[in-house]
């Protein structure tokens, strides 16, 4: 493929990426929600990514060759991307609105440092800047300094990005624990898609930095930046789609989630008390069949048996060795096993009947607790009592 073809593909891919962001960001900002921090911070991340890609588009389209004095204006946006996605993850996992505050200003330290370090390059005359834009980084009298600064900035970006992404994954892990302590169905609440986004961003940014180093050493294949642009288009589209569809969290009835994971060191529950609460919990599911409600929460269950949420959660974790999510879904799977053996209702009908709200969630839970799919379990036929469901 010719250089001109690669150039055209890059311009098209970058234009599509900027267009996706320009479409998604206003949709987010126009959403009616009490958690404005969540939608605004994601729109901010997309806007920063859009500025970064617009800079690349202007470079690839030749605009900066015609106006070299404007080059480099938006390069710093790249260094704001890792903290921006972290701040969004922090807002999504916070029970209370979480905006940026003065303690977050240190996130701008590295971008500001980069801009200051680039000042001698920004002040070069137009001819030298045009040659550098064309790929001759040593055109400037400070050519060696430029190359060294690029290497340092690439490595520092990747290091800072990994730190932010790890911090974001830790927030999501803790959030998942809280959701399982409070809800029996966590579809749309666990933010698994965002965890996948952070992992993909870590790999993707590493890929980009490797390409930048290869470009400095003149070893980068001509297809590398083109492929990178379309990979970015795919993951930005994924982020935009899921971000627009993701409901704002902590607008749901989640009164229990703020205090559940604080630990039980201050609790005075004895083993006998936990045993009594455990018996109430078993009756609520075995006799009252609360588990068939797909929206059953810890708050609802604790109100039904007249025991505080913290005591119920402590009993589940310490006495029964499970969280709320596991406790309810094990009962649902037990019921599903009985229905699969006894009748010929469809698997999806049974899933809804026992309290699951999606086929995928039911299949995942069934495979976890039984070790086989519902279809495979049904084909095995009736089994003696006690040989079916197993924890």
Cβ 79 vs Cβ 110: under 8 Å: yes
Neighbours of 234 (CB within 10 A): 12
> How far is CA 72 from each of CA 51, 52, 76, rounded to the nearest angstrom?
11, 10, 8
Among residues of the chain, what percentage have pLDDT more than 90? 72
DSSP string covering 111-159, please?
HHHHHHHTHHHHTS-HHHHHHHHTT-GGGSTTHHHHHHHHHHHHHHHHH
Phi-psi region of 250 (alpha: psi -120 to 50; beta: other; left: phi over 0): left
Strand residues in the chain grouped as ranges (E): none
Q: What is the C-alpha to C-alpha distance for residues 111 and 76, in angstroms, rounded to an integer?
A: 5
What are the structure tokens assigned to 97, written together? 């609105």
Residue 183, beta-bridge partner list: 297
64-73, 132-141, 153-162, 191-200: the lowest-pLDDT one = 132-141
Cβ 46 vs Cβ 239: under 8 Å: yes
- pLDDT score at 162: 96
* First-to-final CA distance of the chain: 57
Q: What is the C-alpha to C-alpha distance for residues 64 and 141, in angstroms, rounded to an integer?
A: 20
Three-class DSSP category at 183: strand
- pLDDT score at 385: 47
Q: Tokens 């993909």 — which residue?
A: 200
- pLDDT score at 387: 45
Residue 297, beta-bridge partner list: 183
| Rounded (5°) CA angle 47-53-59 | 140
User: How do residues 65-85 score in pLDDT, each as one tens digit?
Assistant: 888 888 877 878 999 999 999
- pLDDT score at 390: 42
User: In terms of pTM, does the model score above 0.85?
Assistant: yes
Q: H-type helices in the chain, by residue range?
A: 3-29, 36-60, 63-66, 77-92, 109-117, 119-122, 126-133, 143-182, 192-216, 223-245, 271-286, 298-305, 309-314, 324-342, 347-354, 359-370, 374-380
Helices (H) and strands (E) in the chain, counts: 17, 0
What are the structure tokens assigned to 110, written together? 């590295």
> How far is CA 66 from each of CA 3, 60, 70, rounded to the nearest angstrom?
20, 12, 9
Q: What is the C-alpha to C-alpha distance for residues 155 and 163, in angstroms, rounded to an integer?
A: 13
Secondary structure element (H or E) that encloses residue 44, with its range: helix 36-60
pLDDT band, residue 94 (cuts 50/70/90):
very high
Average pLDDT score over residue span 19-34 = 95
pLDDT band, residue 147 (cuts 50/70/90):
confident
64-68, 127-131, 290-294: the lowest-pLDDT one = 127-131
Query: What CA dihedral angle connects 374, 377, 381 and 386, to 10 degrees?
Result: -110
Phi-psi region of 355 (alpha: psi -120 to 50; beta: other; left: phi over 0): left
What are the structure tokens assigned to 215, written together? 């470009």
Average pLDDT score over residue span 38-65 = 95
Mean pLDDT rounded to a whole number for the chain = 89
66-80, 205-219, 331-345: the lowest-pLDDT one = 66-80
Three-class DSSP category at 217: coil
> How far is CA 209 from each of CA 32, 60, 181, 282, rounded to the nearest angstrom?
38, 18, 40, 55
Cβ 332 vs Cβ 355: under 8 Å: yes
User: How do residues 309-323 score in pLDDT, each as one tens digit?
Assistant: 999 999 999 999 999
Phi and psi, residue 381, nearest 5°? 85, 180
- pLDDT score at 363: 95
Q: What is the C-alpha to C-alpha distance for residues 233 and 307, in angstroms, rounded to an integer?
A: 51
What are the structure tokens assigned to 17, written together? 């990426």
């Amino acid at each position: 493929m010719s250089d001109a073809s690669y150039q055209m593909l890059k311009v098209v891919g970058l234009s599509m990426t900027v267009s996706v962001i320009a479409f998604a960001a206003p949709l987010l900002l126009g959403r009616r929600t009490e958690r404005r921090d969540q939608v605004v911070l994601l729109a901010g991340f997309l806007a920063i990514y859009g500025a970064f890609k617009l800079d690349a588009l202007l470079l690839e389209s030749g605009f900066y060759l015609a106006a070299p004095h404007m080059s480099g204006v938006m390069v710093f946006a790249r260094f704001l991307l890792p903290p921006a996605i972290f701040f969004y993850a922090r807002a999504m996992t916070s029970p209370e609105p979480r905006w940026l505050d003065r303690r977050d200003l240190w996130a701008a330290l590295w971008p500001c440092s980069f801009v200051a370090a680039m000042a001698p390059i920004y002040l070069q005359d137009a001819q030298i800047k045009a040659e550098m834009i064309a790929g001759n980084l040593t055109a400037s009298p400070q050519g060696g300094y430029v190359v060294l600064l690029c290497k340092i900035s690439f490595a520092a970006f990747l290091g800072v990005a990994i730190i932010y992404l790890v911090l974001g994954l830790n927030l999501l892990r803790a959030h998942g624990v809280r959701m399982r302590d409070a809800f029996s169905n966590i579809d749309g609440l666990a933010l698994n898609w965002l965890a996948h986004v952070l992992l993909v961003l870590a790999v993707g940014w590493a890929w980009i930095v490797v390409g930048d180093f290869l470009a400095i050493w003149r070893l980068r294949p001509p297809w590398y930046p083109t492929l990178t642009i379309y990979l970015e288009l795919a993951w930005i589209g994924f982020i935009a789609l899921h971000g627009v569809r993701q409901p704002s969290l902590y607008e749901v009835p989640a009164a229990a989630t703020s205090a559940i994971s604080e630990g039980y060191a201050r609790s005075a529950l004895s083993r006998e008390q936990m045993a009594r609460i455990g018996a109430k919990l078993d009756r609520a599911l075995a006799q009252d069949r609360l588990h068939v409600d797909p929206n059953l929460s810890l708050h609802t269950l604790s109100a039904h048996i007249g025991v505080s949420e913290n005591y119920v959660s402590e009993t589940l974790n310490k006495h029964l060795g499970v969280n709320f999510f596991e406790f309810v879904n094990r009962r649902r799977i037990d019921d599903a096993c009985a229905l699969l053996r006894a009748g010929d209702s469809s698997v999806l009908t049974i899933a809804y009947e026992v309290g699951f709200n999606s086929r995928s969630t039911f299949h995942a839970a069934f495979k976890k607790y039984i070790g086989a799919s519902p279809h495979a379990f049904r084909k095995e036929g009736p089994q003696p009592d006690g040989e079916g469901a197993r924890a």
